[in-house]
Structure 1
Amino acid sequence: MPRVAFFFGISIYMYMDDHGVPHCHAVYGDHAGSFSIENGECLAGQMPPSQSKKIKNFILDNQADLMEKWNELSG
């Protein structure tokens, strides 16, 4: 499970052999969630609102790179 980013105490991961819609996993302290690469919305889990906003902004700012990584790991 490679960590693809780390910022403001938030780790962003992508799992190999993950299926479903393109997404990444975020961990912040005791909180964890999966977030859509398409729109940055939380798909599952819980995250404080401030961190959710930072994660969404990160995803939207790095969509192309995240999709490339998703395709590399799930292909």
Structure 2
Amino acid sequence: MPTISMFYGIVIQMFWADHAPPHFHALYAEFEALINIQTLEVIRGRLPNRALWLVLEWANLHRDELLKDWELCEKTQMPEKISPLV
């Protein structure tokens, strides 16, 4: 599973040929959440509140890039790296 971004101890990844809806995986310590790219809702899992807030802020800034990466992953192509939250 390619890592597309990392910031503040949070790792953002996407699976190749993953199931719909378009989403990404956010990992922080022992926590993992799947986040819908279009709605920014948690599909499954959970993150601590502060980590979730950071992930949602980052995803809101990079939604178009996330959707492009999702399309690449659907074609089993390597997604592009996305700038971290600073």
Give distance in 2, aligned partners of 1:55 and 1:40: 9
Report the aligned-residue RMSD: 0.8
Bigger share in strand: 1
In the alignment, which residue of structure 2 is the partner of 1:21? 21
What amino acid sits opposite 2:46 in the alignment? Q
Query: Which fold has the larger relative contact order, with Cα–Cα distance below 8 Å and residues 6 or more apart in sequence?
Result: 2
Give distance in 2, aligned partners of 1:38 and 1:17: 18
**Sequence identity percentage:** 27
- Deviation of 1:4 after TM superposition, in Å, equals 0.4
In the alignment, which residue of structure 2 is the partner of 1:59? 59
SS in structure 1 at match of 2:6: strand
Unaligned runs of 5+ in 2: 76-86
Unaligned runs of 5+ in 1: none
Give distance in 1, aligned partners of 2:9 and 2:60: 19
Preserved CA contact (<8 Å) 1:39 1:60: no
Q: What is the TM-score with the length of structure 1 in the denominator?
A: 0.95
Runs (4+) of structure 1 moved beyond 4 Å?
none
SS in structure 1 at match of 2:34: strand
Bigger share in helix: 1
The number of aligned residues is 75
